[in-house]
Amino acid sequence: MIKEGSLLWQYLSPEERVLTGDGAFLLEDSARHVNQEPTDYSYLVFPFAKLYEGFLKQLFRDTGVITEGDYRSDHFRIGKALSPDMAPRLGRHSAYGQIEQRYGKDLALRLWHAWKDGRNLVFHYFPHNYRALTLIQAKNLIQSIVSTMEEAILVMQVMVKNNKS
């Protein structure tokens, strides 16, 4: 899903690259076990959702959207900072607001929707709205997360580090 040597691959930390490998393994494994279809393929999305969280924190730190302290904090919440609904209340602490102002509303919304759809709606349990993913839905969410990261790298023009692993 993420090609080794691509700009995105080069930007990822070694730990994020491991999550990419884990995600690829789970996708390949699910293809080998077609006779044992689970009722929910959300587990395929997990490594990519976790990778996306790390990617966003790193991206926000590298572009000055958050501080090094926020990046290292156990209390900083991506979902809160990236929510368009929270932007007015958070003011200059809103990642969504800063991205919208610096890079445009389209990218800010894309980052938010990849977060909301690929993480929050997948991994939170709502008794009134149980959500189980089909294999196709899981693959589509993974592709959305990956393509959003690729777009962010290009639009935000972050410096690609030499992250060897």
pLDDT one-digit tens code per residue, 132-155: 899 999 999 999 999 999 999 999
Percentage, residues of the chain above pLDDT 90? 80
- With bands split at pLDDT 50, 70 and 90, how would you rate the model's confidence at 163? low
- Rounded to two decimals, the pTM is 0.91
Q: Tell me what the mean pLDDT of segment 63-72 comes to.
A: 95
DSSP H helical segments within the chain, as ranges? Answer: 7-11, 14-32, 42-62, 68-72, 78-82, 87-90, 95-103, 105-115, 121-123, 135-156
**What pLDDT, on a 0 to 100 scale, did the predictor assign at position 160?**
76
Average pLDDT over residues 4-26: 96
The pLDDT score that the predictor gives to residue 136 is 94
Give the DSSP letter of residue 116: I
- Tell me how far CA of residue 28 lies from CA of 37, 130, 147, in angstroms: 14, 26, 20
Selected residue with higher pLDDT from 43 and 122: 43
113 vs 159, residue with greater confidence: 113
**Of the candidates 19, 82, 105, which has an alpha carbon nearest to the alpha carbon of residue 54?**
19
Contact 46, 22 (CB under 8 A): no
